[in-house]
Amino acid sequence: MSTSAELPDLAVTGSTGALGGMVARTLAGQGVQQRLLARTPSRAPDLGGAVVLPASYADRQAATRALDGVRVLFMVSAADAADRLDQHRAFIDAAAEAGVRHIVYTSFCGAAPDSVFTLGRDHYATEQHIKDTGIAHTFLRDNFYIDFLPALAGDDGVIRGPAGDGRVAAVTRADIARAAVAVLTDPDAHLGATYRLTGPQALTMAEVAATISDVTGQHVTFHNETVAEAYQSRRKWGAPAWQTDAWVSTYTAIAAGEVDGVTDDVKNLTGRRPRSLATFLTARLRLSRTSTS
């Protein structure tokens, strides 16, 4: 069994998920050695130069063992849950106990104690907890995912929510992953930095619907619900209150202008412009056609 001194000093979380998996695979492709921390190690990708260790955010003892000897930690925010902030704090405390020197955390572009997007408040509190430990940090404040926008349409092709004429500068997961890799391969150059990772344009939800229609040929429209209508239309799923609040506040955050600012941070970090919604959809459609041909 390898000792902590023999293990890679870069740890990556979330490798069994979409964003963390992209980061881990890209790092491996560049020959970077890494520890993959996974709640279910058997689900972690098999990558050259990667060592898989069992760890979960909520299990402080296991996390402390897995993080022993780590210099830089890529911390993907945990899955949405009522106790996500508690999980984050336990994991950050484990990192401090293990002697981690630098945490790169995926946050939210509108993170604030009074964020309209309710989960943005958890991201702000997580950032503050990292700062309170004294560990050096880099915050990647991601906008909403472009990848998720097409899924907002219901079976009838209607996107419903109280977004008004607000705009969202959504960004692809792939662009966030590329930005993260740029930071992780030269972490000292980004100490103390906070980046707002956005796509190249800020669209209204009506424009999002129109773009999806134009590129895919599917008829998609946007219906601007009232807040009361939004809660009523989501009641059928029987979700807990905190989750329904998060769903509805995704749209009210857009209406409030919380996610409309476009930045050059992705381009400055990676040397490439981020993909637009139209470009993302076109590439996905081409891939789908190739795989079925």
CATH of the domain at 83: 3.40.50.720
Q: What is the pLDDT of residues 202-259, one digit of tens each?
A: 999 999 999 999 999 999 999 999 999 999 999 999 999 999 999 999 999 999 999 9
Q: Is the dihedral of CA 250, 256, 260, 266 positive or negative?
A: negative
Q: Domain residues for 87?
A: 4-143+172-198+262-274
Residue 46 structure tokens: 């098999």
Q: How far apart are CA 128 and CA 125, in angstroms?
A: 5
The band of 150, judged by pLDDT with boundaries at 50, 70 and 90, is very high
Judge contact between 137 and 270, C-beta under 8 A.
Answer: no
Q: Which of 216, 91, 100 is nearest to 153 (CA)?
A: 216
Query: Is residue 100 in a domain?
Result: yes
Q: What is the DSSP letter of 186?
A: S
Q: What is the pLDDT of residues 98-126, one digit of tens each?
A: 999 999 999 999 999 999 999 999 999 99
Q: How far apart are CA 4 and CA 152, in angstroms?
A: 44
Q: What is the pTM of this model?
A: 0.95
Judge contact between 87 and 78, C-beta under 8 A.
Answer: yes
Query: Is residue 236 in a domain?
Result: no
Q: What is the pLDDT of residues 58-92, one digit of tens each?
A: 999 999 999 999 999 999 999 999 999 999 999 99
Judge contact between 22 and 142, C-beta under 8 A.
Answer: no
**Out of 13-22, 103-112, 280-289, which region has the weakest mean confidence (pLDDT)?**
280-289
Residue 287: predicted pLDDT? 81
Query: Is residue 8 in a domain?
Result: yes
Whether pLDDT at 169 is above 90: yes
> Which residue type is seen at 47?
L
Q: How many domains does the chain have?
A: 1
Whether pLDDT at 5 is above 90: no
Whether pLDDT at 178 is above 90: yes
Residue 1: predicted pLDDT? 44
DSSP 204-257: EHHHHHHHHHHHH----EEEE--HHHHHHHHGGG---HHHHHHHHHHHHHHHTT
Residue 286: predicted pLDDT? 86
Query: Is residue 127 in a domain?
Result: yes
